[in-house]
Amino acid sequence: MKQAGLLSALMLTTTLNLVPWLAHANPLNLPALGDTTSGVISQQEEYELGRSWLKILRNQTPMVADPELKHYLESLTHRLSAASQLSDHRLIPLVIDSTVLNAFAAPGGIVGVNTGLFLHAETEPQFAAVLAHELAHLSQRHYARNVEEARNQSIPTAAALLGSILIMATAGGDAGAAALTSTVAGMQSAQLRFSRQFEREADNLGISTLANAGFDPQAMPAIFEQMNKASRYGSRPPEFLLTHPVTENRISDSRARADQMSTRKTVKNAGSLNYQLMRMRAAYISSNNIHEMARQLSKEVTVAADNAPVASRYGLALASLKARDFNTAEQQTNWLLQHYPDNPHMILLKVQLESETGKGKQALERINQLLSINPDSYPLQAAKAEVFLKQQNYTEARNILLNLSRSRPEDPDIWFELAEVQGLAEDIIGLHQSRAEYFFLNGNMDDAIKHLQYAMKMAEDNFALKSKLQQKLSNIRDYRQKLKNS
């Protein structure tokens, strides 16, 4: 088994951390988390473990870098977390580039969803239900409780689990994978039994989170029932169901719990327009044949005429733009803007079209209007940098990405783009600094150190810069040594 796959399976079956209860009474009579669990693995240890694992995940798993899709997931995750039992909101939402239906939560506040979840969850409340379920795993510290249960059964997993994962985080060799294999095997029976309890807890708390966030709590049993039905027609159930088994009893229990939330003020609708646009965007990103996608959507829009789904028109515009069929892209984009003039996704579509067709000035004017209202928007700033890049104005593109790197320092996609633009702008020292950050976030310590050393050699007599680079180099070396000694 590949290391990333093994780690993913491990984290999905032992999902974790981060938070106790709100001040109100506990209506579900779930166990309180006291010093016992914290004595096995503290929240800070969970956090550091998760961040080490995140570097491995990023290094070995394809991620979606699209700012609009990432921003949507981040916004929805933080909306749900504010309505959940979480006390530590240091979350890192990730979009995994895979059409397999799956989602997970892991130590360190890492919440990941595959593009496949966008494709399978038909409504925003259904999509939010899966996220709320994963956040409940975090809030109840299910990872730490699994370790505690294993210790009580004399299964020496706490040190073995931490040690083997950290071996993989530093060396990336087979030793850590072998250690994990034996550790997981020793825990398997206990985990399967405990998993049922954790799933019930996550269902109940997730439903409460949905209601608190203004979503229809019935979306939880609805998405479970949809997944369960879909699994009957395939030789292998969706990946999500392998780690979150859904039974008829579980669906009935979640529906009964959702019925108890009927007095809450919720938004009962089929899902927002923006979610449908992001579903289509996920399909566009996942498409292996953009011309075929454009052909199918064109047929759908033509047949349905004025009744064509808005998301289908949006997808046709995206696919046509990628295929450089600018006439079709412009026709659909203009229709979308005419009917939804204030929707930022439609405006960004127009910005991209104008940039691709040599109308960079109009694109900048359009995006600056939006930025005057929302100056901190990640998708807007990223789009503006892309317009400048298209105009070969590398200095302005670099400046925007530098600002983004300060507001999103843990986003490797920003550092990757910044390094590319710095190279074009002939800012070679900056290029090496950004590449060092990128490699560090992706768990490649050797290359991170190498690029910092390159930058130091080029800094020459700039003592202030050399001191800054030396400190960064020392920090990365200390981090690597700390992991090796754990």
Identify the band that residue 250 occupies on the pLDDT scale cut at 50, 70 and 90: confident
pLDDT tens figures, 168-199: 433 434 444 444 444 444 444 444 344 677 78
- C-alpha 9 chain-centroid distance: 17
Identify the sign of the CA torsion 154, 160, 165, 168. Answer: negative
Residue 190 has what pLDDT?
45
Q: Which structure tokens are listed for 266? A: 């919720």
Residue 81 has what pLDDT?
95
Residue 215 has pLDDT above 80, yes or no: yes
pLDDT tens figures, 330-340: 999 999 999 99
Which pTM value belongs to this model? 0.83
Rounded to whole angstroms, how far apart are CA atoms 402 and 396?
A: 10
The secondary structure of 335-347 as a DSSP string is HHHHH-TT-HHHH
Rounded to whole angstroms, how far apart are CA atoms 104 and 118?
A: 14
CB-CB contact of 18 with 109 (8 Å): yes
Residue 35 has what pLDDT?
37
CA–CA distances in Å: residue 376 to residues 60, 340, 380, 385, 429: 31, 22, 8, 14, 27
pLDDT higher at 43 or 448 = 448
Place of tokens 């925003």: 124
Residue 45 has what pLDDT?
77
pLDDT higher at 481 or 320 = 320
Tell me the mean pLDDT in the region 307-326: 97
Residue 48 has pLDDT above 60, yes or no: yes
Q: Which structure tokens are listed for 414? A: 């920003």
- C-alpha 192 chain-centroid distance: 26
**Polymer length in residues for the chain:** 486
Residue 247 has pLDDT above 80, yes or no: no
Residue 256 has what pLDDT?
84
* % of the chain beyond a pLDDT of 70: 75
Task: Give 468-477's long-range contacts (Cβ < 8 A, gap of 24+).
Answer: 469/433, 472/433, 472/436, 473/449, 476/436, 476/440, 476/445, 476/448, 476/449, 476/452, 477/449
Rounded to whole angstroms, how far apart are CA atoms 341 and 339?
A: 6
Q: What are phi and psi of 121, to 5 degrees?
A: -80, 115
pLDDT higher at 20 or 434 = 434
Identify the band that residue 481 occupies on the pLDDT scale cut at 50, 70 and 90: confident
Rounded to whole angstroms, how far apart are CA atoms 456 and 231?
A: 55
Rounded to whole angstroms, how far apart are CA atoms 387 and 352?
A: 8
